[in-house]
Structure 1
Amino acid sequence: MDRIEIYTSKKKSILILIGSIIFVVGGILFVANPESFLTIRMQSPDIIRIIGVTSVLFFGLGIYVGIKRTIKSEIALIIDSNGLNVNPKKSLNEFIDWKDILGFKELKIHSQRILIIVVKNPEKWIEKETNTFRKKLMNFNLSNYDSPFNISAAGLDISFAELHEALNKYSKKDKNEVQHAANSA
């Protein structure tokens, strides 16, 4: 089977960029003139300024990411006959051989569909990770979703249904080949 490379979506990156710009502008207004935003529930200009600064910092990062991804899409997922790599640019440890994949589960959080990759010996994958932040994230995923790996098609140039179908097709092909080899032996 051919190798499938899935990239980040430029269209979705432009939406992130536009949304981030709007929130940065709002944050700047909060910082520059907090008195204009005082309400019965929010009577402290200092808290409004803190919200504004937080918005500028967080969504400023969103502007950076949006511009970077709009200029050049990054490879986000590689699927081939050997297995899949869920973060080819960030971690070489995340190549998962098909024989290590038990299956896929779908999770829905606020209408966002997430694909959980159920793997054998999930603790092994966490031990291999060298980045402390990613290791904590993988531990969080394991404790909440029974796997250190999950994929959302939200930022990818592929629909959730197409992603799920491709992963199942490659996984079933590998399992059929293993079964065929076992029967031949």
Structure 2
Amino acid sequence: MSTSYEQHVEYPNRKRMALLTAGAALFVAAGFFLIFDRSSVTNDSILSGVIGFLSILFFGLCFCYSLVKMIKKEPSFVIDEDGFVDASSYTAGGAVAWRDVENIFMYELMGQKMIGVKLRDEKAFLDRQNGMKRKLMTVNSNMVDATISVAQSSLTVPLDQLYIMMMSHWRHVSDNMIYDSYSRR
């Protein structure tokens, strides 16, 4: 009954990653401009300095992350018969076995289509994540009831197609688990 499903490997979309890196670099430059711009009034320059500093901090991290993702030759998403490995974003889920998946669904958040993955033991999964990543994943889970969210930004295959592949693999494993539990009786 067990049919082997082929592995699917996604690498980051280099063009999209280059655009994200360039955009982050522009915001870092804008942050420096806000900090060192002396043409405004003193009260405004303090606010500009704070905004500039926060811009440099946040978009500097975005710049470093996207630059590393663009340069590294590592997959951003892998699907196989055992599960999937999500490395598509900072809050990526990592390795997840199909048996741990409760539900997979498509949703839209702020105009962006995403794949949501709800896990059976969300608490155990979140406990394995580091501090900031855990907090971001918890916020996401509370907003859309998905432990893991996969966005199109670092994938080359259309999200709808990835969703169909994930559903096919997950259903195959789920059907085999049900078949195995009946055959043991």
TM-score by length of 2: 0.80
- CA-CA distance at 1:43 after TM superposition: 6.0
- CA-CA distance at 1:122 after TM superposition: 1.8
- CA-CA distance at 1:184 after TM superposition: 4.8
Q: Over aligned residue pairs, what C-alpha RMSD do you find?
A: 2.9
Aligned to 2:11: 7
Aligned to 2:154: 155
Q: Is the 8 A contact 1:101 1:119 kept in 2?
A: yes
Query: Counterparts of 2:88 and 2:122 in 1: how far apart (Å)?
Result: 19
**Number of aligned positions between the proteins:** 179
- CA-CA distance at 1:94 after TM superposition: 4.3
Q: Is the 8 A contact 2:88 2:154 kept in 1?
A: no
Deviations 1:51-109 (A, max 9, x none): 12222232222332233222224322221101122249999x84322222122122211
Aligned to 2:25: 21
Aligned to 2:119: 119
Query: Counterparts of 2:31 and 2:126 in 1: how far apart (Å)?
Result: 37
Aligned to 2:84: 84
Q: Is the 8 A contact 2:104 2:116 kept in 1?
A: yes
Please list every run of 5 or more consecutive structure 1 residues that lacks an aligned counterpart in the other structure: none
Query: Counterparts of 1:88 and 1:32 in 2: how far apart (Å)?
Result: 35
Bigger helix share: 1
Aligned to 1:35: 39
More divergent stretch after superposition (164-173 vs 152-161): 152-161
TM-score by length of 1: 0.80
Query: Counterparts of 1:133 and 1:56 in 2: how far apart (Å)?
Result: 19
Deviations 1:16-39 (A, max 9, x none): 121122222222222222425x6x
* Cα distance change of structure 1 residues 142 and 178 upon mapping to structure 2, 3 Å threshold: same
Aligned to 1:60: 60
Deviations 1:102-161 (A, max 9, x none): 22122211211121112212222223x152223323332333333322211222232211
Query: Counterparts of 2:63 and 2:133 in 1: how far apart (Å)?
Result: 22
Residues 1:70 and 2:70 aligned together:
yes
Query: Counterparts of 1:68 and 1:178 in 2: how far apart (Å)?
Result: 39
Letter in 2 for 1:136: K
Query: Counterparts of 1:25 and 1:73 in 2: how far apart (Å)?
Result: 28
Please list every run of 5 or more consecutive structure 2 residues that lacks an aligned counterpart in the other structure: none
Aligned to 2:170: 171
Q: Is the 8 A contact 2:28 2:60 kept in 1?
A: yes
Letter in 2 for 1:31: I
Aligned to 1:108: 108
Residue identity over aligned pairs, in percent, reads 19
Query: Counterparts of 1:130 and 1:70 in 2: how far apart (Å)?
Result: 23
